[in-house]
Structure 1
Amino acid sequence: MNRLQAIRPFGQRLWLDNLSRELIASGELARLLTEDGIAGVTSNPAIFHKAISSDARYREQLAALKTDASLTAEQRYETLVIADIQAACDLTQAQYQASNGADGYVSLEVSPALAHDEAGTVAAAHRLWAAIDRANAMIKIPATAAGIRAFQTLTAAGINVNITLLFSLQQVEAVWDAHIAGLNARHAAGLPLAQGKAVASFFLSRVDSLLDSRLPPAQQGKAAIAMAKMAYQRYLARYHGSEFAALRAAGARPQYLLWASTGTKNAAYSDVMYVAGLIGDETVNTVPDATLALFRDHGEAAATLTQDIAGADATLAAARAAGIDFAAIGEQLQQDGLALFDKAFTELLQLTA
């Protein structure tokens, strides 16, 4: 068992934060699934911009699509990437089936232009879900106010959702409120609950990058992991407590926390800190290729997510005492993240125009 595989017995699954035709056609994705125990794939506009701009495997199909003047740049983009999502779903299908729907998901994001458009997000999610036509696909939407309302509707409709750009405990709680409300609506309508799957993508390294300059040296590099640990404590209370008991008995799945932005940005810190420090049951960590390679080389698997909860609480208390408003920071980081994805998507559509 390699170091990545050693994480699996602790109940956490690793997903790859990357996708391209080269990754699929070369057999590298299949190898990651088989040898390293990777159990899913996430994508975003920046990932697909890099893939389409650098991978020659897209060129012939894109050239053909550009001869059809009836297609918009976004329609050409979707045609290209839906094929990739379908291929990745087919590769992860065996894990999906073997795990009874717990593993094997592949995420595709709706247009960032819909971030504040509830109805548009719901419509796009339904359209992409139907176009991909794979039970282990997952539609990715941002956790804006409109996105959270859309998430509740999509949960009630039985569509798998990765709700992303979460940076605060308040945002996570709002997402869980929507998830449970959507499941209750579905249950009240007499619809099956077991088929739906959702994850809540909580971003890590960006939190520390923003806060470190505002914290004393002893507290730097600790806030994101502390927040994640406290979020997990809230997850345990909500999804293993009385609030979710009836839904669980009816077959509903909890909404796992997914650790995102897990590549270390500060060279002074451990290069695997956002993987090694947050290993725990019923969680996902979506990891870029470079960080996967680093953990494969020297990472150590242990049940760290539930260690030193008092210390995590004290870290956040010290940050608040230093004037950090975590709710405000969460909103700022989410807006920054939306702007980055919007920029990447605009540049992506320039490739397909």
Structure 2
Amino acid sequence: MSKADLTQLYASQGQSLWLDNLSRELIESGQLAEWIRDYGIRGVTSNPSIFKKAIVGSPQYQADIATCKAKFDDIEAIYEHLVVHDIRQACDLLRPLWDESAGEDGWVSWEESPRIAHNAAASFAAASRLVDLTDRPNLLIKVPATPEGIAAFEQMIAHGISVNVTLIFSLAQVKAIFAAYQRGLSAYHARGGTVGQVRAVASLFMSRVDTLVDQKLDAIGSPAAQALKGKAALALAGMAYQHYRELFEGEGFAELRALGARSQYLLWASTGTKNPAYSDVLYVENLIAPNTINTVPEATLKAFADHGRSASLLKPRLAEDQAVWAALAELGIDMDGAIGAQLLDEGLVLFEQAFEELLAAIAAS
């Protein structure tokens, strides 16, 4: 796979590559424009950890921090007005692609405060505020797949707000989110909205799933357990994609599709390989499929351009994936229950820690 091949991935395979990074340095250095032009990047995602890495210790934000502090007393307001500059710049860089693709790609994701992950009303209010603050049509509001986050997501869709639902770790979450999307679209149509203007994606995390499941399998230690290592995430992706196709390409979505509604694409997240024993492009070259998105860290994108292959496409393998799920269950590993819940909780904690550390750093600047 070469850089030239990456720029043609969407045309040849129907999959979009989004960059899992955003910073002022990335924008002002011209690097983001290069990723878009030369590596086929068609969108950008961000999260509290990404902004913490971008802002803490960077001289590029100091003048803006001082300006924001003079205008706002609330530390979260200071943070929002600090990063909205980067969000707008990225939206503007991707706007030509958004126009060209009629809103299929060219999106930038901005995650809400982790502090409101379990508050549906606050989450919806924050989404409305961030949309108004950014004032760009190609903004996706990121909400976590908590029960309250899913409820807020449905309300956002019902009001025409485009959303990236994140921190998805189980098939049960995928099914609940897709159902909420359909209900939200129906409500938006009933309110007189144009459903084709709404975009939503569902970010299903990969490497974090294998990291936790592999730990459980190592603790069991049997040959049967060892044989399952590195298989859970791809099995989850395969079953989720099968559900996507059955729902959005089937009769269940036919009425909304006739109204111009878009399906909610699966977005493969956490695709940087954490286990050095696995291929560094494991969660890229094995997850190429039409109507999907892969959001990649810079290192993974470079690795895929250097030695990735498109030969291992995501093929129909439902029986095989279900067999992996059943084998894990036989070993006491509950993928839709304990594993999904633990990963969601851990993901929320990591983002909250990064967010609190970022706010503290801004306050101390």
With structure 2 as the length reference, what TM-score do the two structures score?
0.94
CA distance in 2 between counterparts of 1:305 and 1:232 reads 9
Identity %: 53
The one-character-per-residue Cα deviations of 1:51-90 (angstroms, maximum 9, x if unpaired) are 111432111111232344x421111111111110000000
> Out of 238, 256, 263, which is 2:247 matched to?
238
Amino acid at match of 2:283: Y
Amino acid at match of 2:132: A
Structure 1 SS opposite 2:104: coil
Q: 1:1-353 maps to which residues of 2 (within 5 A)?
A: 2-8=4-10, 9-68=12-71, 70-215=72-217, 216-302=225-311, 304-327=313-336, 328-353=338-363
The one-character-per-residue Cα deviations of 1:180-206 (angstroms, maximum 9, x if unpaired) are 000011112222111100000001111
Unaligned runs of 5+ in 2: 218-224
More displaced stretch, 57-66 vs 261-270? 57-66
* Contact 2:145–2:166 (Cα < 8 Å) also in 1: yes
* Contact 2:242–2:316 (Cα < 8 Å) also in 1: no
Residue 306 (structure 1) shift: 2.0
CA distance in 2 between counterparts of 1:13 and 1:77 reads 30
* Contact 2:160–2:198 (Cα < 8 Å) also in 1: yes
Amino acid at match of 2:176: A
Structure 1 SS opposite 2:4: coil
**Stretches of 4+ aligned residues off by more than 6 angstroms:** none
CA distance in 2 between counterparts of 1:310 and 1:345 reads 41
The one-character-per-residue Cα deviations of 1:222-246 (angstroms, maximum 9, x if unpaired) are 1001100110000000101111001
Residue 214 (structure 1) shift: 2.5
Residue 307 (structure 1) shift: 4.5
CA distance in 1 between counterparts of 2:195 and 2:113 reads 27
* Contact 1:74–1:352 (Cα < 8 Å) also in 2: no
More displaced stretch, 310-319 vs 293-302? 310-319
- The RMSD of aligned alpha carbons is 1.2
Q: How has the CA–CA distance of structure 1 residues 6 and 268 changed in structure 2, closer, same or farther, with 3 Å as cutoff?
A: farther
With structure 1 as the length reference, what TM-score do the two structures score?
0.97
CA distance in 1 between counterparts of 2:5 and 2:256 reads 36
Amino acid at match of 1:293: K
